[in-house]
Amino acid sequence: MLCSLDHNVSQLIAYFRFDRLLGNHLIQTFSPCSLVTALSWLSFWFELDAIPARVSLLITSLLILVTQFSGLKADMPPVAYVKAVDIWMAGCMIFVFSALAEFVLVKIIYAKTEDLNHLIIGPNTHVSRETNEHGCKGKAPSPTEEEEPTSTSGSSLSTGSIGTISARSTPLVTPSAISPILVHMLLN
Q: Are residues 54 and 86 in the same domain?
A: yes
Q: Are residues 27 and 63 in the same domain?
A: yes
pTM of the model: 0.57
Asked if residue 58 lies in contact with residue 99, where contact means CB atoms within 8 angstroms, the answer is yes
Domain containing 46: what range? 22-121
Q: Are residues 101 and 182 in the same domain?
A: no
Q: Are residues 95 and 126 in the same domain?
A: no
Residue 2 falls within a domain, yes or no?
no
Q: What is the pLDDT of residues 125-135, one digit of tens each?
A: 555 545 545 55
Residue 45 falls within a domain, yes or no?
yes
Could you tell me how many residues make up the chain? 188
Separation between Cα atoms, residue 25 and residue 42, nearest integer Å: 25
Q: Are residues 136 and 114 in the same domain?
A: no
Separation between Cα atoms, residue 37 and residue 31, nearest integer Å: 10
Residue 11 falls within a domain, yes or no?
no
Q: What is the pLDDT of residues 37-56, one digit of tens each?
A: 999 999 999 988 899 999 99
List CB contacts of 77: < 8 A, sequence separation 6 or more: none
Q: Are residues 177 and 108 in the same domain?
A: no
Residue 26 falls within a domain, yes or no?
yes
Q: How confident is the model at residue 155 (pLDDT cuts 50, 70, 90)?
A: very low
Asked if residue 40 lies in contact with residue 61, where contact means CB atoms within 8 angstroms, the answer is yes
Q: Are residues 53 and 84 in the same domain?
A: yes
Q: Are residues 93 and 135 in the same domain?
A: no
Residue 154 clears pLDDT 50, i.e. is over it = no
Q: What is the pLDDT of residue 93?
A: 96
Q: Are residues 44 and 113 in the same domain?
A: yes
